[in-house]
Structure 1
Amino acid sequence: MENILEVKNLHVSFDTHAGEVQAVRGVDFELKKGETLAIVGESGSGKSVTTKAIMRLIPSSSGSIKEGEILFAGKDLTKLSDSEMDQIRGKEISMIFQDPMTSLNPTMTIGKQIMEPLRKHRKLSKVEAKKKAIELLHLVGLPQPEARFKQYPHQFSGGQRQRIVIAIALACNPKILVADEPTTALDVTIQAQILELMKDLQQKMETSIIFITHDLGVVANVADRVAVMYGGQIVEIGTVDEIFYDPRHPYTWGLLASMPSMEIDQNEELKAIPGTPPDLLRPPKGDAFALRSEYALKIDFEYEPPVYKVSDTHLVKSWLLHPEAPKVEPPEIVKQRIRMMPGNYKKPLLVKEV
């Protein structure tokens, strides 16, 4: 399957009164045509900054892409002018933000807001744009789209507003859809509906999706591949099966252990990852996760780990995968999660440095 997007050695920094915050530090990944890539991690891990860099939405007054390439349709997006990006943003690459109420203009009807990208990018007439907008509202499952076309954002529920935002994002049939925690502001029932909607729309439209979330459990039935971010870096990336059934990085173990589950004893406490994310004003020496990891080796505090290849699709940035490292098993709670998943398997530990 061909790559539609390639991010290579991406570095993004912000200038603050306290100094330079190195928010993204050498991120590499590719997005394939028609797939969903989930990027997961705690707040402050660099997920949203990475996707905003792809959209070229890093504020120039304080932030900048220091290094790296973002290759899309034969172009490096980091080299394009603002006017050139305007032709890509919303048309070729669209974004769904976390809070639908702040994404919508409260003074405009939702119909006009959906028509806007249709008229700007697809050059449709008012009549054609209105017809297409109503089709989009129907596509995202909004009841009575013809009647609700003239209503304002405050007249809709949170879940309905998010459906409208999705309709706007899909208006120009983008090749890539970036969803930045699109369900966080919604209750669990509506969250499930929105996730199912996005999965269904992706199959119909063959749009590639980058799905950002802090909740690893959200992506289990949505993603094809998962990238785990910590301290501005991708520490593990693999297929959804590899991440859920065969996780190798201690941080991924921590995220899995902190997921609520109906299957585990309800009297058992959720396992929290100790400590706090690193201060990226002064990025730690060695492995950024070492101070929070009970599995940290002496080398973790001295040298940054290389990336090891578990399989063609599974890469892990951890000294624990070095051939001379002690053999370490995931904690029991993570093993429980793996055993409870259907079709679980255990691959042999065959890795090489890449």
Structure 2
Amino acid sequence: MEKILDVKNLKINFSTFAGQVQAIRDVSFHLNKGETLAIVGESGSGKSVTVRSIMALLANNAHIDGGEIDFKGQDILKMSPREIEKIRGNDISMIFQDPMTSLDPTMPIGKQVAEPLLIHGSMNHANAMARAEEVLKLVGIDNAKNRMKDYPHQFSGGQRQRIVIAIAIVNYPEILLADEPTTALDVTIQAQIIDLMKDLQHKIGTSIIFITHDLGVVAGIADRVAVMYAGKIIEYGTVDEIFYDPKHPYTWGLLNSMPTLDTSSKRLYAIPGTPPNLLDPPAGDAFAPRNPYTMEIDHEAMPPFFKVTDTHYAATWLLHPDAPQVDPPLAIKKRQAEYRELLASGQIGSHKAKEVDQNA
């Protein structure tokens, strides 16, 4: 498949009064044309910082200490502010988590949707407003022509998020960055927004990077998944590989933390412990203090990526040929069975399913 974005060895630090926080530590991944890549992990793992660097939207105290962000043969990190402005909101757009902080409360939504077209000079005012109406209809805003004069407070939360999506796609971008776009919404509206994004991807042919901590959302939208922990990607593969055959204990923990309809315990599972202090990252595997299967080498050396398949890699010493055999917890096997049933029933997955060993 054709790569549209290639991030290589990205390193981002934040200057604080306490010292340098190593927020992103040698992160590499790519995005193929027309696919959805999900980046998952706990809060603070570096997901949003990674994606914001693609749009050059980092905080003032952040500085990039190395790496490349290759977009169509150009390194975004070497572009001037003027060159980035031509890309931002035009070739690459972003959907933020909270629609109320993304929308201007003093401006009618029609003008807000049309604004990217006017800023990038792709249309005159009349044509931009016509496109805005068309895109508002596309994202499911009823009576769009009349509602273009309304203000954000006159819409529901789900409608506001649809408007934010309309602003992001009005220029038909090649890449859409979605930073937890469903977190602030209830479950029913979340499902509607996910369906909308999949439908829009099909209609306008955009590629999506979807940031979330919810693996349940990932199952319904992603083609590939990158799992982040403590500023590093620790496992990546197709969505089926991550759900069917996860290899990193942290991925096991994330899957085990997902509630299901069959969850009977009054207390949900949580990964014990806390992430490391990135002012002084550990020399070995950052997940070692929370890993029930930790070995001595986990505290001494950072694990490399071990190949599981041509598309599936995980950075854990458990995959070393000399490591003891460790099977996923029973709860993970149950989730694999649940995922298999959902996939077979068509309730999830526009992605390509693969045949699975029934003994997995």
**Shorter-chain TM band:** over 0.9
Give the distance between the partners of 1:328 and 1:85, measured in 2 at CA.
47
How far the C-alpha of 1:123 sits from its partner, in A, is 2.6
Q: Bigger CA drift: 11-20 or 116-125?
A: 116-125
Give the distance between the partners of 1:276 and 1:128, measured in 2 at CA.
52
Q: Secondary structure at the match of 1:209?
A: strand
Question: Are 1:43 and 2:19 counterparts?
Answer: no
Question: Are 1:345 and 2:348 counterparts?
Answer: no
Distance 1:104-1:21 versus aligned 2 partners, 3 A rule: same
- 2:302 equivalent in structure 1: 304
- 2:133 equivalent in structure 1: 134
Deviations, residues 20-53 of structure 1 (Å, cap 9, x unaligned):
0000001010000000000000000000000011
Q: Which amino acid aligns with 1:194?
A: I
Question: Are 1:53 and 2:64 counterparts?
Answer: no
Q: Bigger CA drift: 117-126 or 272-281?
A: 117-126
Q: CA RMSD in A?
A: 1.4
- 2:283 equivalent in structure 1: 285
1:14–1:23 contact (8 Å) kept in structure 2: yes
Deviations, residues 270-301 of structure 1 (Å, cap 9, x unaligned):
22100011111111120000000001111000
How far the C-alpha of 1:268 sits from its partner, in A, is 6.4
Deviations, residues 63-96 of structure 1 (Å, cap 9, x unaligned):
1111000000110000001111000000000000
1:94–1:177 contact (8 Å) kept in structure 2: yes
How far the C-alpha of 1:269 sits from its partner, in A, is 3.9
Deviations, residues 98-125 of structure 1 (Å, cap 9, x unaligned):
0000001111110111111111224311
Distance 1:265-1:87 versus aligned 2 partners, 3 A rule: closer
Alignment of 1:236-315 (within 5 A): 236-262=235-261, 264-267=262-265, 269-315=267-313
Question: Are 1:209 and 2:220 counterparts?
Answer: no
State the TM-score, normalizing by the size of structure 2: 0.94
Q: Bigger CA drift: 25-34 or 116-125?
A: 116-125
State the TM-score, normalizing by the size of structure 1: 0.96
Q: Secondary structure at the match of 2:220?
A: coil
Give the distance between the partners of 1:209 and 1:157, measured in 2 at CA.
25
Give the distance between the partners of 2:279 and 2:141, measured in 1 at CA.
45
Give the distance between the partners of 1:120 and 1:255, measured in 2 at CA.
41
Distance 1:51-1:348 versus aligned 2 partners, 3 A rule: farther
Alignment of 1:56-75 (within 5 A): 56-59=56-59, 61-75=60-74
In the alignment, structure 2 segments of 5+ residues that lack a partner are 345-354
Give structure 1 regions of 4+ aligned residues with deviation exceeding 4 angstroms: 346-349
Give the distance between the partners of 2:356 and 2:255, measured in 1 at CA.
16
- 2:233 equivalent in structure 1: 234
Deviations, residues 293-329 of structure 1 (Å, cap 9, x unaligned):
0011110000000011111110101101001111100
- 1:225 equivalent in structure 2: 224
Give the distance between the partners of 2:322 and 2:165, measured in 1 at CA.
49
- 1:352 equivalent in structure 2: none
Q: Secondary structure at the match of 2:183?
A: coil
- 2:347 equivalent in structure 1: none
